[in-house]
Amino acid sequence: MRFSKVTYTFFFVFLMTLFLGGQEKNDSICPTIGLVLSGGGAKGYAHIGALKVLEKNNIYPDRVGGTSMGAIIGGLYASGYTAEELDSIVYNIDLGEAILSPRKRKMIPFFDKKYAEKYILQLPFDNFKIKMPHAISKGQGTNKVLTTLTRHVHSVNDFEQLSTPFYCIATDLETGDQVILDKGFLAHDILASGAFPTLVAPQEIGGRLLVDGGVVNNFPVKEMRDKGADLVIGVDVQDDNVSREEMKSITKILEQIATLKSQENLEFQKKHTDIFINANVEGYGVTDFDAKKDLIERGVTATENKLDTILKLIPEHCRKPNTFRTIKHDIHKQDSLVVTSIELIGAEHYTSDYLLGKIDIDVPQEIPYNEIVNSIDRLYATGNFSQIDFLVRDDLYGKRIVYQLEEEKSRMYLKFGLHYDNVYKTGFLTNLTVKNIFWKNSFLSTDVILGDKLRFNVNYLIDNGAKPSFGVNYSYRDVEFNGIFDEAKLFDLEYEFRVHNFQAFIQSTLFDRYAFGLGLEYDNIKIKNNSLVVDSDITNLGRNNYFGPYLYTKIDNRDQPNFAKKGVLASAKYKWIVASNDETTSETNSYFKVNSEFNFPINKNFTFKLNGGLGLTLSDEDLPYGQQFYLGGFNEQSLVNYQKFYGYDFMEIRTNNYILLGGNLQYNLFKNHYINGFMNVLSSGKEIKDLSRYDDHFGLGVQYGYNSPLGPLIFNYAFTTETETSTFNIGLGFWF
C-alpha cells in the first residue's frame, strides 16, 4: 500500500508531538534523592556541614541512610531536625562523655558514696569465675541522649513514616551478616549501628546481638539504590589506611582494622553514587569529639566544592523548601509533660518501692522533661541496671512514662583497691559484692584488706528507696599510734588500737544526698602498749566492751570525693553507752560529735574550704579511753572517734571535748592537679567549760595532690607552732 506525502507528514508531526510532550513531562519530574552518610565516629560531624549546604540551596533528600555516626546524624535528621538544629545539638551535648556514660556522683546512692568510692577495678564474678567486660561503655549514656532527642517519634515504628524515610546498617555479631534496620525504636537502632566494638557494648535487638555496621558496610549506597533512589549523594568521612607510626593507641589500631574492610567496600559503593563527597577529614580520629567546629566546617567546604555538580543534576524546580520540616526542636527549651502514670518493665529483683523511690516522680502532675531524664540518671547511678529506656505513651488524661529496665546480668563482683599511707602502710583491698542475696534490693559487701595490719569491713543493706532501709555493718581495725595515757603525762609510748565494731541501723535518705538514721552499736576495743615489757596501768589498758543506741545524720553533696570544688560533707552523731565492762567509768556515758567540710568555689580554679569539728562529753565522768576523741594526722579512714588535724601526728591528741576550726585554699593547677594551703586551730579540754579559747593547738601547711585513676596521690607537709615540729605524710590511692 502506498502512502501519500500528506500522510507521511501527518504521521511525522504526530510522533514529534508525542516525543516533545513526553520530554516536557520528564523534565518536570524530580528525581528521588537519596543521601547516604558513612561511618567515622567523631569525623561524622562533617555530615552536619554537608546538610547545611544542601539545606541552604533548598535541597532536601527524599531518603536518608547511614552507618555508625552517619546513622546517628542521619537518623536525627530523618526524625525532623534541621541541619542548624543538629549543629546546636552537638555543641550542647558532649557525645564523648555520653559514650563513656559515667555515673553522676550527685545521684549515686548515699551508701555507695561512703563505701563504694574506693575501688580501682571491678569485675563480674558469677559462679566464682572472673569475667571481662564486653566494652568500655555499656552505651547507656548514648542511649539516654538519643532516646531524649527522638522523643517526638517514640510512637513511630516504621522508619518510612518519619519526616524523611530512613534506614541504617548494623552487624550481627554472631553471624557476621549485614542487618538493615528500617523498623523498630529509632534510638535503639541508630545506637546499634554505632556500637563501635570494645568501645560500646553490643546491643540486642530482635534477638540479635548487633554491633557497629561499619564492620560489614560503612557506606551503604547500594542499599539506597535498592530502595528506589534515582539520584544518590554520598558523603564519606573515612580515612585511608595509616602507617604503623600513626597507630599509637588501641583506638587507632581498632580504627585501622575497621578501615581495612571498609576501604575495599568503599570502591564498590562509590560506583553507585551520582555525587560523591569526600569530607577530607585526614588527621582526625573517631574519638576527636572536641574538634566539632573544624569537622563541621570541612563538611561545608567539601560539599560547596561539589555544589555546581549537584545543582546541574537537580533541576531548579526540584529545589524547594521542605514543608515537612515545620516543627522546631529547641533543645534549650525545658518542655514539660502532664504525667498521669508510670509503668515499670523488666525489674525482677527490685521492688516497685525501691524503683519509684529512685525515680522520685509523683503522679499525676505536670513534670519538666529534664526531670524524667534525671530519673533515668538516678536509676543508672545505682549500678543495678545495664540499660534503661523510657517511652512516652499517650494515656487517658495525659502521658504514661514507660521505664524498660535491663538488670545487670552479673549479681556477684570482685573489686580491688590499693593504698599506702604513713600509718596503715601498704594495703591491698579485695572486695566481694553479692547483690539481691536473702532479699530484694539488697547487697552484701565484704572488704578484706591485706597489708601490715589486717582489716575487715562487712556491710549488708536492704535499700527500700524512699522508705526506710535496713542494714548491718561489721568492721575490724588494727592500728598503731603514739599516745600519753599516764596521769603525769610523762610517757609518750607506742600503743596498738584494735577495734571490733558492729552496727545495726535503720536509715532514710533524701535525694541520695542526705541520710538520717538510728541504730544500735557494739564496740570491742583493746588498747595495748607495745613499748614496755612490764605490765602496768599504762601497758595494757584492757579489752573493753561498749554497747548503746545512737542517732545520726549525714550529708554528702560534693561534686567529687577527692579535691571537691563545691558541696558539703558533714556528719553528726549522738551515742548513749548504756552497757560497758570498762572499770575506768562507773556510769553510763554519752557523747555528741559533728564533723563538717564546706566547699565554696571562688572561680574556675580556686576553692575555699571551711572545716569544722565538735566533740562533747555529755556525762559527768570522762569518756573511757576507747570512746574518747583522738585527733592528729591527715588520714581519712574511719576509726571510732578519730578526727584528722593537720600539724600533729596520727591520734597524738586525746581529749573528752574539743572544738576545731580550719580553712583551706585549693588551687586547681591544671587538670587533676591541686595545690592546697591550710590551717587549723583546736580548743580541747577535760570539761565543756574548758573550751574557752582557740589557742590549745595550731597547725598549718601545704599539700600537693594528683587525682589519678588509681585514687588521690597526696604529699602533705604540716607545721605546728606549739612544739615547733613538722610532719610529712604521703597518701597514695583511695582511702579505706
The rounded mean pLDDT for the chain is 87
Please determine, for residue 10, whether its predicted confidence score (pLDDT) is greater than 60: no
Which cell numbers in the block locate residue 218?
A: 560503612
Please determine, for residue 129, whether its predicted confidence score (pLDDT) is greater than 60: yes
Beta-ladder partners of 529: 495
Q: Could you tell me which residues come within 8 angstroms of residue 668 by beta carbon, excluding any fewer than 6 positions away?
A: 563, 565, 604, 605, 606, 607, 674
Question: CA–CA separation, 714 vs 646, rounded Å?
Answer: 14
Query: Given this model, what pLDDT does residue 451 score?
Result: 92
Query: Given this model, what pLDDT does residue 284 score?
Result: 87
Please determine, for residue 397, whether its predicted confidence score (pLDDT) is greater than 50: yes
Beta-ladder partners of 414: 123, 432
Q: For cell 573528752, name the residue.
A: 656
Which pLDDT band, with edges at 50, 70 and 90, does 271 fall under? confident
Contact 80, 162 (CB under 8 A): yes
Query: Given this model, what pLDDT does residue 134 score?
Result: 78
Query: Given this model, what pLDDT does residue 635 score?
Result: 86
The arithmetic mean of pLDDT across residues 110-137, rounded, is: 88
Please determine, for residue 584, whether its predicted confidence score (pLDDT) is greater than 80: no
Which pLDDT band, with edges at 50, 70 and 90, does 686 fall under? confident
Please determine, for residue 22, whether its predicted confidence score (pLDDT) is greater than 60: no
Question: CA–CA separation, 82 vs 321, rounded Å?
Answer: 12
Question: CA–CA separation, 355 vs 377, rounded Å?
Answer: 12
Query: Given this model, what pLDDT does residue 135 score?
Result: 81
Which tens digit of pLDDT belongs to each residue from 597-628? 999 999 999 999 999 999 999 988 888 888 99
Query: Given this model, what pLDDT does residue 222 score?
Result: 94
Q: Angle at the Cα of 104 (from 609 to 131), degrees rounded to 5? A: 125
Which pLDDT band, with edges at 50, 70 and 90, does 228 fall under? very high
Helix axes 69-78, 83-92, angle to 10 degrees: 130
* Sequential DSSP letters for 301-341: HHHHHTHHHHHHHS-GGG----TT------TT---EEEEEE
Structural domains for the chain? 33-101+141-324 (3.40.1090.10), 336-407 (3.10.20.310), 412-733 (2.40.160.50)
Top pLDDT among 152 and 668 is at: 668
Query: Given this model, what pLDDT does residue 285 score?
Result: 82
Which tens digit of pLDDT belongs to each residue from 499-524? 999 999 999 999 889 999 999 999 99
End-to-end CA distance of the chain: 111
Please determine, for residue 335, whether its predicted confidence score (pLDDT) is greater than 50: yes
Please determine, for residue 2, whether its predicted confidence score (pLDDT) is greater than 60: no
The arithmetic mean of pLDDT across residues 698-722, rounded, is: 94
Query: Given this model, what pLDDT does residue 119 score?
Result: 94
Please determine, for residue 713, whether its predicted confidence score (pLDDT) is greater than 60: yes
Q: Angle at the Cα of 419 (from 423 to 594), degrees rounded to 5? A: 60
Which pLDDT band, with edges at 50, 70 and 90, does 331 fall under? very low
How many CB atoms are located within 10 Å of the residue 321 CB?
10
Question: CA–CA separation, 127 vs 96, rounded Å?
Answer: 34
Which tens digit of pLDDT belongs to each residue from 424-480? 999 999 999 999 999 999 999 999 999 988 999 999 999 998 899 999 999 999 998
Which pLDDT band, with edges at 50, 70 and 90, does 250 fall under? low
Which pLDDT band, with edges at 50, 70 and 90, does 333 fall under? low
Query: Given this model, what pLDDT does residue 8 score?
Result: 44
The arithmetic mean of pLDDT across residues 660-685, rounded, is: 95
Query: Given this model, what pLDDT does residue 12 score?
Result: 45
Top pLDDT among 719 and 534 is at: 719
Contact 394, 400 (CB under 8 A): yes
CA 110 to centroid of chain Cα atoms: 15
Secondary structure element (H or E) that encloses residue 2, with its range: none
Top pLDDT among 509 and 264 is at: 509
